[in-house]
Amino acid sequence: MPENIIRNKHEFYSLQESSSGLFKTGENGVTGIYTPKDKKVEFIYLDKKALCYVKSAMGYPAFYPFNPPVFSPSAKGVLMDLDGTSVHSENFWIYIIERTVATLMNNPSFGLKQEDIPFVSGHSVSEHLQYCIDKYCPGKTVEEARNIYFSITRYEMNEIMEGRGKTDAFSPAPNLKEFLLTLKENNIKIGLVTSGLTEKALPEIVSAFRTLGLGDPLEFYDAVISAGTAIVKGQVGTLGELAPKPHPWLYAETARVGLGFSSNDGCVIALEDSSAGVVSARLAGFPCIGVEGGNIRQSGVTSLCCNMVSNLMDALPIILGR
């Protein structure tokens, strides 16, 4: 395995055959097939080139070229994940998934297991729900689950906005304000990237910015890209549900369209706390700093990160090259 693409192959499982059935180790130039602990993606190595196979619970998998990222500090652009990296809200959204499944099963006492966590965070709502349906309530449809999910979400979000809901649902990541202002002081463009729909994502970052006294996040960030907006009440209707993280498109669009940089410019770096986000950033061609507290270690993709940090401020020397 080329170490400049994945730093530590021992973190990955070696496969004889890809789950797509299209590649076998030792045949047609394939030198190895590897998958991380969560098995959400597979890396197929052909001599010194690599492909990444992104699986899909919705039936739309895809192959992407997987190349070493190019980066020369100091950065001119920083791409930041929302949930977990900028705002601590993962527990709230996992709670929504849990209540959705409980409703589907007509079992109010239902609870997710620790082993489920890597599969109900970091990906799209539909991916999360399909995983739960497959495991806990076969026979139900993702469309049924999504209707319940958005009904619960709208209720909970309204309760929060009215001051009656979960008081700890959305809180800024430690030192988020200092980190963002330091980037601004160094004339670094900032893009916010999320697999969540706008109706979910915007209240989160608005709430965090109110807490921090940073004003309107849509004015502060240079680009904000989400998975889209629900077209019909209770339905998603956007490409974001089929091509969210770990697909590269959200990061690619934020950088190229939102900030005006391509991966070849070598001046953009991402920050993520989820395995799906790390893969997404890497497939878009950007190096990624992993932020502790998410599912990166649990999913087995630390080797895809250029560094791991416990606090956003610890990422500044990497970003600024100091």
Query: Is the residue at 220 inside a domain?
Result: yes
Residue pointed to by tokens 């980037």: 183
Please check whether residues 19 and 82 belong to one and the same domain.
no
Please check whether residues 50 and 94 belong to one and the same domain.
no
Q: What is the pLDDT, as a whole number, of residue 251?
A: 97
How far is Cα 172 from Cα 21, in angstroms, rounded to an integer? 44
Strand ranges for 144-225 from DSSP E: 171-172, 189-193, 223-225
- Domain of residue 94 covers 90-161
Give the bridge partners for 225, in sequence order.
193
Q: What is the pTM of this model?
A: 0.85
Share of the chain above pLDDT 90, in %: 70
Please check whether residues 109 and 233 belong to one and the same domain.
no
Q: What is the pLDDT, as a whole number, of residue 229?
A: 73
Please check whether residues 128 and 82 belong to one and the same domain.
no
Please check whether residues 156 and 58 belong to one and the same domain.
no
Degrees to nearest 5, angle at CA 180 with 243 and 247: 10
Query: Is the residue at 71 inside a domain?
Result: no
Q: What is the pLDDT, as a whole number, of residue 255?
A: 97
How far is Cα 293 from Cα 41, in angstroms, rounded to an integer? 21
For residue 238, pLDDT over 80 is answered with no
Question: Using one digit for the tens of pLDDT, what is the confidence trace for 63-74?
Answer: 999 999 999 999
For residue 10, pLDDT over 90 is answered with no
For residue 1, pLDDT over 50 is answered with no
Please check whether residues 46 and 81 belong to one and the same domain.
no
Please check whether residues 189 and 219 belong to one and the same domain.
yes
Share of the chain above pLDDT 70, in %: 93
Long-range residue pairs from 196-199, CB within 8 A, at least 24 positions apart, any chain: 196/82, 196/83, 196/93, 196/125, 196/226, 196/227, 197/125, 197/226, 197/227, 197/228, 197/229, 197/230, 197/236, 197/238, 197/240, 198/226, 198/228, 198/229, 199/153, 199/157, 199/229, 199/230
Query: Is the residue at 29 inside a domain?
Result: yes
Question: Using one digit for the tens of pLDDT, what is the confidence trace for 124-136?
Answer: 788 899 999 999 9
Q: Are 247 and 62 in contact (CB under 8 A)?
A: yes
Please check whether residues 50 and 120 belong to one and the same domain.
no
Q: What is the mean pLDDT of residues 274-278?
A: 94
How far is Cα 242 from Cα 62, in angstroms, rounded to an integer? 10
How far is Cα 181 from Cα 195, in angstroms, rounded to an integer? 24
Please check whether residues 225 and 300 belong to one and the same domain.
yes
Please check whether residues 129 and 180 belong to one and the same domain.
no
Query: Is the residue at 119 inside a domain?
Result: yes
Query: Is the residue at 212 inside a domain?
Result: yes
For residue 213, pLDDT over 80 is answered with yes
Domain count, the chain: 3
Please check whether residues 114 and 179 belong to one and the same domain.
no
Query: Is the residue at 297 inside a domain?
Result: yes
Q: What is the mean pLDDT of residues 168-188?
A: 95
Q: What is the pLDDT, as a whole number, of residue 233?
A: 55
Please check whether residues 315 and 179 belong to one and the same domain.
yes
pLDDT bracket for residue 9 (50, 70, 90): low
